[in-house]
Amino acid sequence: MSKHHVRQRDWQSHPPYTHPPYKSTMLRGPSKPLVPIAQTLSELTGPVFGHECVAELDSDLTKNGAKNGEPLGERIVVTGRVLDEDGRPVRNTLIEVWQANAAGRYIHKVDQHAAPLDPNFFGGGRCVADDDGRYRFYSVKPGAYPWGNHHNAWRPNHIHFSLFGPCLATRLVTQMYFPGDPLLDLDPIYQSVPKGARERLVSTFSIDATEPGFALGYVFDIVLRGGAATPMET
């Protein structure tokens, strides 16, 4: 039987647990090194979520919270592929997304930012990658919003993503940003990612993905940890 394992987390790509400019990491990021573990069935299995979890409107955030009309804001379509480190599509994998509305306000009860809620926008949804790893959802472009990290701190426009991939070890939660956002240079969460890797979190505007007369297209590919080649494959 071949020895199967998933490639290690690439710490040249992921942010460190403590990043002083992002203040809440200082009390919440562990200070001791992670303990190495030989991957077992516990890490190489994981919950299997696919098409059965996604209802008809889940992948259209312009409709799944609509009460009496359409949400305000610039309509967008976000699409891309979920791949592993070998460039292979991660098929039928669930993608959960959540975001602020066009005014930069989350529907979350704790968000007290004095920007309006949109009665027609919920901001949460999900979709499933197809056989080619490709996913797509509709939304409105999220607004920037202030936060308390430091004086005059503003989060850049972003959409939160959550993915499982094939097993527990491939779990990923991340944020997608928008090209040309001047707040990226000032954002300690984005800047926590090593230079050379953080750029992967910025989506690309695509006129090809843009739907004429309807929605601006942004492309965001996601790469999950890959499985090392087994003896059978080499």
Partner 1 sequence: MSPKQTPSQTVGPYFAYGLTPEQYGYDHTSIAGPALVHGEIEGERIALTGRVLDAEGQPVDDAMIEIWQADANGRYAHPAGARGSNADFAGFGRAGTGCDAENRFVFETIKPGAIGDGQAPHINVVVFARGLLSHLFTRAYFADETSANAADPVLQTVEEARRGTLIAERRQTATGPQYHFDIHLGGVRETVFFDV
> Considering only residues 41-100, where is the footprint of partner 1 by CB under 8 A?
41-49, 53, 55, 64, 83, 85-87, 94, 96-98, 100
Could you tell me which stretch among 20-28, 69-77, 135-143, 203-211 binds partner 1 (CB under 8 A)?
20-28
The residue written with tokens 């027609």 in the block is: 120
HSE-up of residue 37 (Cα within 13 Å, Cβ side) = 12
Kindly tell me which of 171 and 210 has the beta carbon lying closer to partner 1: 171
Residue where the block lists tokens 């850049």:
156
Q: Note if 218 is an active site residue.
A: no
Is residue 155 part of the annotated active site? The answer reads yes
Residue of the chain from 107, 186, 216, 228 that contacts partner 1 (CB under 8 A)? 107
User: Which residue from 14, 91, 134, 136 is in contact with partner 1, where contact means CB under 8 A?
Assistant: 14
Q: DSSP 3-state assignment of 3?
A: coil
End-to-end Cα spacing for the chain: 14
Does 2 sit near partner 1 (CB under 8 A)? no
Residue keyed to tokens 């990226």: 184
Integer Cα distance of 163 and 103 in angstroms? 26
| 234 binds partner 1 per the rule CB under 8 A | no
Residue 96 forms beta bridges with which residues?
Answer: 126, 162
Catalytic annotation, residues: 106, 145, 155, 158, 160
